[in-house]
Amino acid sequence: MTSQAAELGRGSAEGRDGAGLEEDVFLIARILDGQRLTAEQRAHALKAQLSEYSALGDLTTQSSSHHMASIASNHSERVRAALDEARSITDAFGRRVRTGGLDLAGDLRHYWADRAQRAVLYADTIRERGDIFLVHEAAGCPPVLIYDYDVIMDGVDQPRPTNYVLLKIRPPAGMQTFDWKRPYIIIDPRAGQGAGIGGSQMDSQVGVALRDGHPVYFVSFRREPEPGQTLADVTRTEAAFVRYVQSLHPKSAKPVVIGNCQGGWATLLLGASNPDITGPLVLNGAPVETWSGEIGRNIIRYNAGLLGGQILPMFWSDIGNGVFDGAWLVLNFELMNPGRNYFRKYYDYFNEVDTGRGRFLEFEKWWGGFFLMNEEEIVWIVRDLFIGNRLARNEARLEHGRNLDVKQIRSPVIVFTSLGDTITPPKQALNWIVDTYADETEIRIRGQRIIYMVHEKVGHLGIFVSSSIAKREHTEVASTMKTIEALAPGLYEMKIEDIIGEGENQQFSVSFAERKMSDLPGANEGRRDEVPFAAVARISELQADFYDIALRPVVQSGVTQATAELARTLHPLRLQRSLLSSRNPLLQPIELLADMVGDNRTAAGDDNLFVRTEHWLANAFEQSVDIARDLRNAWCETLFFSIYATPYMRWFGRRYEFGRTRKSKEELFALPEVQSALSHIGSGGYVEAVIRMLILLADSRGNVRRDRLERSTHLLNKTEPFSHLAPVERARVIHEQSLTAQFAREEALERLPDLLHTEEEREQAMEAVQFVLGPLSDASPNVAATFHAFRRVLGLKPALVDVAAGTPEEGKPAGEKPEGEAAPA
Do the Cβ atoms of 535 and 642 come closer than 8 Å? Answer: no
Res 553 pLDDT > 80: yes
**For the chain, how far is it from start to end, CA to CA, in angstroms?**
68
Q: Which residues of 141-172 are buried (b: 16+ CB within 10 A; e: fewer)?
A: bbbbbebebeeebebeebeebbbbbbbbbebe
Higher-scoring residue by pLDDT: 721, 2? 721
pLDDT, tens digit (0-9, with 9 covering 90-100), for 559-591: 999 999 999 999 999 999 999 999 999 998 999
Does residue 80 have a pLDDT over 80? yes
Are 327 and 105 contacting, i.e. CB atoms less than 8 angstroms apart? Answer: no
pLDDT of residue 811: 44
pLDDT of res. 330: 93
Helix (H) or strand (E) holding 18: helix 18-98
pLDDT at 23 over 80: no
From 140-154, 332-346, 488-502, the region with the lowest mean pLDDT: 488-502
Phi–psi pair at 52, nearest 5 degrees: -70, -40
For residue range 263-301, list pLDDT tens digits in order: 889 999 999 999 989 989 999 888 999 999 888 888 889
Using CA atoms, how far apart are residues 136 and 223, in angstroms rounded to an integer?
Answer: 10
pLDDT at 17 over 70: no
β-pairing, 184-187 vs 256-260, is parallel
CA gap 261, 192 in Å, rounded: 12
- pLDDT (0 to 100) of residue 20: 59
Structure confidence at residue 402 as a pLDDT band (50, 70, 90)? confident
Strands 402-403 and 413-418: unpaired
Strand duo 216-221 + 164-169: pairing? antiparallel
Percent of the chain scored above 90 by pLDDT?
43
Provide the pLDDT confidence category of residue 15 given band limits of 50, 70 and 90: very low
For 649-655, the CB contacts below 8 A with 24+ separation are 649/532, 649/535, 650/52, 650/53, 650/56, 650/531, 650/532, 650/535, 652/535, 652/538, 652/539, 653/531, 653/532, 653/533, 653/534, 653/535, 653/536, 653/537, 653/538, 654/534, 655/534, 655/538
The pLDDT value recorded for residue 820 is: 42
Query: How many Å apart are CA 821 and CA 20, to the nearest integer?
Result: 78
Considering the chain, what is the average pLDDT of its residues? 84
For strands 413-418 and 449-455, give the pairing. parallel
d(CA 587, CA 583): 8
Would you say residue 823 has pLDDT above 50? no
Which pLDDT band, with edges at 50, 70 and 90, does 361 fall under?
A: very high
pLDDT digits (tens, 9 = 90+) for 365-382: 989 999 999 999 999 999
pLDDT, tens digit, for every residue of 775-787?
877 778 888 888 8
Contact status, residue 427 vs residue 286, Cβ threshold 8 Å: no
CA dist., res. 698 & res. 779, Å (int): 11
pLDDT digits (tens, 9 = 90+) for 441-487: 888 888 889 999 888 777 766 665 555 555 556 566 666 676 777 67
The CA-atom distances, in angstroms, between 4 and each of 7, 22, 26, 37, 619 are 5, 14, 12, 18, 82
pLDDT band at 53 (very low <50, low <70, confident <90, very high): low
In the predicted model, what is the mean pLDDT of residues 224-229? 95
1 has a pLDDT exceeding 50: no
Contacts of 105 (CB under 8 A, 6+ apart): none
pLDDT of residue 571: 96
Confidence band of 174 (pLDDT split at 50, 70, 90): confident
pLDDT on residue 57 = 67
3-state secondary structure of 150: strand
Lowest mean pLDDT among 314-318, 446-450, 701-705: 701-705
User: In this predicted model, which residue has the larger pLDDT, 801 or 640?
Assistant: 640
At residue 706, does pLDDT exceed 60?
A: yes
Quick check: 337 pLDDT over 80?
A: yes
- Give ∠ CA 402-403-407 in degrees, rounded to 5: 130
Residue 218: what pLDDT? 93
What average pLDDT does this structure show over 795-823?
Answer: 50
16 band by pLDDT with thresholds 50, 70 and 90: very low
Q: Determine the average pLDDT of the residues in 343-347.
A: 96
At residue 48, the pLDDT reads 60
66 phi, psi to nearest 5 deg: -65, -45
Q: Please give the pLDDT value at position 780.
A: 81
Which pLDDT belongs to residue 345?
Answer: 95
**The predicted structure's pLDDT at residue 661:** 74
The string of pLDDT tens digits covering residues 437-447 is: 888 888 888 88
Q: How confident is the model at residue 313 (pLDDT cuts 50, 70, 90)?
A: very high
Is residue 68 a contact partner of residue 634, using CB atoms and an 8 Å limit?
yes
Sorting pLDDT into bands at 50, 70 and 90, what band is 665? confident
pLDDT for the residue numbered 237: 97
Question: How is domain 144-291+405-526 classified at the CATH fold level?
Answer: Rossmann fold (3.40.50)
Higher-confidence position of 101 and 541: 541
Measured in whole angstroms, the distance separating CA 740 from the mean position of its chain's CA atoms is: 32
Sign (positive or negative) of CA dihedral 170, 174, 180, 181: negative
**Side-chain half-sphere exposure of 149, counting CA atoms within 13 A:** 25
Residue 443 contacts by C-beta under 8 Å, 6 or more apart in sequence? 433, 437, 449, 450, 489, 490, 491
Domain boundaries, the chain: 2-72, 144-291+405-526, 671-793
pLDDT: is 651 or 723 the higher one?
A: 651
pLDDT of 5 above 50:
no
Contact by Cβ (8 Å): 219, 199: no
CA dihedral 621, 627, 630, 631 (to 10 degrees): -130
